[in-house]
Structure 1
Amino acid sequence: MNGSDRGLSRRAFVRSAVAIGGASALSACLQREEPEDVPQAALAPDELPDRQHAWNEFLATDDHGNVVPPEHHLLLGLEYVGDGPAEVERERERLEAALRTLERAYKRGNEGLAFTIGYGPNYFDRFDTDLPDGVDLPEPEALAPIEDPQLDEYDALVHLASDYGHVTLSAEEALKGDLDELNGLEVEGSLTGVFDVAERRTGFIGRGLPADNQAGVSGIPDGEPVPEDAPLFMGFKSGFRKTQASEDRVTIGEGPFAGGTTIHLSKIQLHLHQWYEQDSRDQRVAKMFSPTHAEDGLVEGAGHNLGDSSRVAEVGGSAADDARNEGTVGHAQKAARAREDGAPIILRRDFDSTDDDRAALHFLSLQRSIEDFVTTRRAMTGSDLTEGSVNSRTNNGILQYISVRNRANYLVPPRDRRALPAPNPA
């Protein structure tokens, strides 16, 4: 990372460093970000919420009350390499010490660090007992006839997020046992002897970041078409407050994992040549939101003018009618059909990626039950809307522009059970 990096913007350089990883990337990232003192934790670990996924109260918000996610994200797919039952208590202590080091070293939130650790079906399969009734953690599967994803089999997943690339990289190096000190604190514990990092995936989200990172990326046409105000590669804002489930809604309410949640993680490859080169802006608006949004000119730029809602529920009209009569139905319009009592049932924390120099989206959602995600995904697919109508896959939201490459499911326990949980702790 020298010589050729001089023409990169700071944000593009930091994204590149996070994607590469390792000690040299961390050193380069520190030099480019020139960080001021990143705050250590304001709360002791025991004072933090029981929910690992309770991020929102610690994250920034915009003028409309929408949560502003951290800019840089790192996903670590982990394989268990420990000794099993004979050493499980020692391994739990080592892992918990590592996680508490992260909590003490950085303030929770954008300017520090937010993180979770979850466990996949493969991890729990090694036990003789089953997960308790009411905990929904099926094996991942293809969810539409048009997809053939790789089904991830990692034992665990760590999600690290911060506005500072060097914070995510430092946290990763500390977890791997490659740092003695983290933000001025002695590192205690690590993944060593418990988990190996089998795969790392990286990404980013935020106004201007996709535009900064679009040049030369497969899946995006030449000419750098992604708008400067867009937080995601497809050019539009998402994560409106009223289109997101609350953290309460996605929290498991009863049993030994009460206070936990589930994660569904998809890696989605983006194909945006037609999106930007052939589709007009009105077509993009109609396919992302609804035909009414396009006809009435409701979306300015990336859609920041919409405030705290996509407005699909108020003005989007009937998805079935638009599919039948207009030949187009919007992605947000379809997804809104999965609401319960008027409220969404999944909480999205997804972000873009240029791993392997390919435009992608890591779709990470939280929900009380994986079935809630399946319900939402089926609504997004909208197969029921295209049967017997003038519609086609081309105008069925954004399906034509995405390919699901990976799927995975994880259980995120409450904080007091996050280190190597037994399937039925009670």
Structure 2
Amino acid sequence: MHRENRGVSRRAFLQSAVAIGGASALAACMDREDVSVPAGVEDPGSLPSRQHAWNEHLDRDDAGNALPPRHHALLHLEYDGLPTDADRETVTSALRTLERAYEWSSDGLLFTVGYSPAYFERFDADLPDAVDLPEPRPLSDFEDPVLDDPDAIVHLASNHASVVLEAEEALRGNRDAANDVAVDDALTDVFSVAERRSGFVGEGLPADNQDTGGVPDSEPVPEDAPLYMGFKSDFEKSQASEDRVTIQSGAFADGATQHVSHIDLNLQQWYEQDDRDSRVAQMFCPAHADSGAVERTGENLGDSPRLEDCGDPAETASERGVVGHAQKLEGTREDGEPLLLRRDFDSTDGGNAGVHFLALQREISDFERVREAMNGDDVSDSTPVGRRQNNGIRQYLSVTHRGNYLLPPRQRRALPTPEGADA
């Protein structure tokens, strides 16, 4: 064990509690955190129609970048048969309890409920043309992921580990109250929980949780890094706006699509075989490594990774034999704006350093287009860069799972039909 002679930090303890889950973890977590959580709204109907309307309710750093909540859980849910009005009322009640219990913010609770293509297959009708929701599939020649097909997925997020755990326990029917609000109905009165995943993001959390598979014994993750790979990624100007990822018309207007993949990280190679300049070149671009543009985790860059300074990916690959991850993605912008709003977070699920890559977009095809650019096959076919070697960060990533979901607008999130009716 890397840290066998050290005490467990408060941050590491809280993350471990979220990873374990359950009533015992919640009790221990509440004792350790001892925070006053702001209450929610009396009328949940006053909240935004968009479930993914988080940005105005997130903390910000000094450069104005939105900071994601620090603790996360993903619940995969299964549902049998065709939805009934009674089941919809139960789901609505369970979700509105959370909205009454916790402020819609990072210091309270932010959450979404999404539905998979498998869920919608039970209906005779098809989803409207405005909704692009294909089955998940492998997106490169080097991956063979499990294709997730739960009926629904719930994403819970908060700065406070105890909030994530208490909200989950309420949804599972294991709490009489959540933040002093009575719990009358549970999601598990309607759904069964097929799988649970968890994670974290934020300064200090990856360093506190590097005693896991895929990380060298030398404990290389920088103490101030928000993510395992040592760099920040939440630059405001590298994120799509919530407007850009929102479905604009039809029954699911104000909704979005969500892609969730799990990726194992090979940090042994990332930190022990490559020096910092190599890591900067592969994460951002070689020009950034040459100029020393990226200090520490990249906080000096402000609200933009300054990719306009990186040059053309194919030219860089041809001349330098390496191309940057972010550099390749710059060409996928439309009207100057990125296509994806990323809300990913790190994880120790499965006993290995990893990331749950959660992306919101208007259409799943937007995500697949960005992933194609990340693959960089067009670059590797005509330059010294390999399909994986020196091709951004591909050689350090192993995709284990992929899933696609529709996030309906809030008023249609309880067991919707493809037409959006009766939901």
Shorter-chain TM-score: what band? over 0.9
User: Does residue 248 of structure 2 align to residue 249 of structure 1?
Assistant: no
CA distance in 2, matches of 1:389, 1:328: 9
- 5+ unaligned residues in a row in structure 2: which ranges? none
**Equivalent position of 2:362 in the other structure:** 368
CA distance in 1, matches of 2:105, 2:330: 29
Whether the 8 Å CA contact 1:268–1:402 is kept in 2: the answer is yes
CA distance in 2, matches of 1:190, 1:243: 38
Aligned pair count reads: 417
Secondary structure of the structure 2 residue equivalent to 1:52? coil
Q: CA deviation at 1:303?
A: 0.3
**Equivalent position of 1:26 in the other structure:** 26
User: Does residue 311 of structure 2 align to residue 317 of structure 1?
Assistant: yes
In structure 2, the CA distance between the partners of 1:108 and 1:5, relative to structure 1 (3 Å rule), is farther
CA distance in 2, matches of 1:5, 1:175: 38
- 1:305 maps to a residue whose letter is N
Query: What is the CA RMSD across the aligned residues, in angstroms?
Result: 1.3
User: Does residue 339 of structure 2 align to residue 341 of structure 1?
Assistant: no
User: Does residue 407 of structure 2 align to residue 423 of structure 1?
Assistant: no
CA distance in 2, matches of 1:153, 1:228: 37
Secondary structure of the structure 2 residue equivalent to 1:395? coil
Q: CA deviation at 1:223?
A: 1.3
**Equivalent position of 2:300 in the other structure:** 305
**Equivalent position of 1:357 in the other structure:** 351
**Equivalent position of 1:225 in the other structure:** 220
User: Does residue 79 of structure 2 align to residue 80 of structure 1?
Assistant: yes
Secondary structure of the structure 1 residue equivalent to 2:243? coil
Whether the 8 Å CA contact 1:5–1:13 is kept in 2: the answer is no
- 1:139 maps to a residue whose letter is E
Secondary structure of the structure 2 residue equivalent to 1:100? helix
- 2:221 maps to a residue whose letter is V
Per the normalisation by structure 1, the TM-score is 0.96
Q: CA deviation at 1:229?
A: 1.4
Q: Give deviations 1:15-69, integer Å, cap 9, x for gaps.
A: 111111111111111111122x211015631111000000000111111110010
Q: CA deviation at 1:133?
A: 1.3
Q: Give deviations 1:356-390, integer Å, cap 9, x for gaps.
A: 32100000000000000000010111111001311
- 1:150 equivalent among 146, 149, 165: 146
CA distance in 1, matches of 2:5, 2:28: 10
- 1:358 maps to a residue whose letter is N
In structure 2, the CA distance between the partners of 1:6 and 1:24, relative to structure 1 (3 Å rule), is farther
**Equivalent position of 2:108 in the other structure:** 112
CA distance in 2, matches of 1:328, 1:84: 52
**Equivalent position of 1:390 in the other structure:** 384
**Equivalent position of 1:210 in the other structure:** 206
CA distance in 2, matches of 1:329, 1:74: 34
- 1:201 maps to a residue whose letter is R
- Aligned 1:168-247 pairs, distance under 5 A: 168-215=164-211, 217-247=212-242
**Equivalent position of 2:66 in the other structure:** 67
In structure 2, the CA distance between the partners of 1:49 and 1:291, relative to structure 1 (3 Å rule), is same
- 1:96 equivalent among 92, 100, 104: 92
Secondary structure of the structure 2 residue equivalent to 1:333? helix
Q: Give deviations 1:395-425, integer Å, cap 9, x for gaps.
A: 0000000000000000000000000001112
Secondary structure of the structure 2 residue equivalent to 1:363? strand
**Equivalent position of 2:137 in the other structure:** 141
**Equivalent position of 2:284 in the other structure:** 289
Q: Give deviations 1:68-127, integer Å, cap 9, x for gaps.
A: 10000000011113x525xx1000000000000000100011110000000001100001
Secondary structure of the structure 1 residue equivalent to 2:157? strand
Secondary structure of the structure 1 residue equivalent to 2:263? strand
Secondary structure of the structure 1 residue equivalent to 2:399? strand
Secondary structure of the structure 2 residue equivalent to 1:375? helix
CA distance in 1, matches of 2:26, 2:224: 28
Whether the 8 Å CA contact 1:245–1:344 is kept in 2: the answer is yes
CA distance in 2, matches of 1:257, 1:108: 22
**Equivalent position of 1:53 in the other structure:** 52
Q: CA deviation at 1:6?
A: 8.8
CA distance in 2, matches of 1:237, 1:43: 37
User: Does residue 8 of structure 2 align to residue 8 of structure 1?
Assistant: yes
**Equivalent position of 1:278 in the other structure:** 273
Q: CA deviation at 1:5?
A: 12
CA distance in 2, matches of 1:213, 1:294: 27
In structure 2, the CA distance between the partners of 1:5 and 1:55, relative to structure 1 (3 Å rule), is farther
- Aligned 1:29-48 pairs, distance under 5 A: 29-35=29-35, 37-42=36-41, 44-48=43-47
- 1:167 maps to a residue whose letter is V
Secondary structure of the structure 1 residue equivalent to 2:360? strand
Q: Give deviations 1:267-299, integer Å, cap 9, x for gaps.
A: 000001121111010000000000000000000
Secondary structure of the structure 1 residue equivalent to 2:395? helix
- 1:10 maps to a residue whose letter is R
Whether the 8 Å CA contact 2:82–2:122 is kept in 1: the answer is no
Q: Give deviations 1:132-178, integer Å, cap 9, x for gaps.
A: 11210000000110111110010000000000111001000100111
Whether the 8 Å CA contact 2:90–2:189 is kept in 1: the answer is no
- 2:399 maps to a residue whose letter is V
**Equivalent position of 2:158 in the other structure:** 162
Per the normalisation by structure 2, the TM-score is 0.97
- 2:297 maps to a residue whose letter is A
Q: CA deviation at 1:188?
A: 2.5
CA distance in 1, matches of 2:7, 2:181: 35
